[in-house]
Amino acid sequence: MSELRLADLNRVFMVGRLTKDPELRQTTNGTSVANFTIALNRRYKSATGEWKDEATYVGVVAWQKLAELCKQYLAKGRAVLVEGKLQNRNWETEDGQKRSTIEIRADRIEFLDREGRPSIGAGTPGQESSPEPVHGEEPAFSKSDDDLPF
């Protein structure tokens, strides 16, 4: 009998606010890379009945044109939806200590704030991305602001 193999799925969608402006740098071969962190907030009621707020901080990395667009359009406090995959990154500090982190490698970022809501995505290799929805999708926010529940 043949063995059943499960396919791995690595896809995340997270909504949060930037904790600071994106940092843009260039790799040694000139590829743009942007890093930023988003805060994911959770509100819950404690055992004593008191409302508590808890934040989880998640690192995001964007590459090439998407990185440049992040630097151009994103800023601290902006609400975004980040779509991508989780990746592990390892490095060594200047004093030789090994470090690692899990972060989102962004494929698409959508602005959620009321003023201007472009969607920026990695698109397909060799194709420029722009502040438009990727993959021929309809914009996620095609309704007027009056129709939105927030």
Sign of CA dihedral 18, 19, 25, 28: negative
At residue 112, the pLDDT reads: 86
At residue 47, the pLDDT reads: 93
Number of Cβ atoms within 10 Å of the Cβ of 34: 24
Beta strands in 1-150 (DSSP E): 12-18, 23-26, 32-45, 51-63, 79-92, 98-111, 119-121
At residue 133, the pLDDT reads: 35
Helix, strand or coil for residue 21?
coil
- Which residues in the chain show pLDDT less than 70? 1-2, 114-150
At residue 48, the pLDDT reads: 94
At residue 42, the pLDDT reads: 92
Domain residue extents for the chain:
12-147
At residue 76, the pLDDT reads: 95
Number of Cβ atoms within 10 Å of the Cβ of 70: 29
CATH number of the domain located at residue range(s) 12-147 in this protein: 2.40.50.140
At residue 7, the pLDDT reads: 77
Burial environment of residue 48 by CB neighbours within 10 A (0 to 12, 13 to 18, 19 or more): exposed
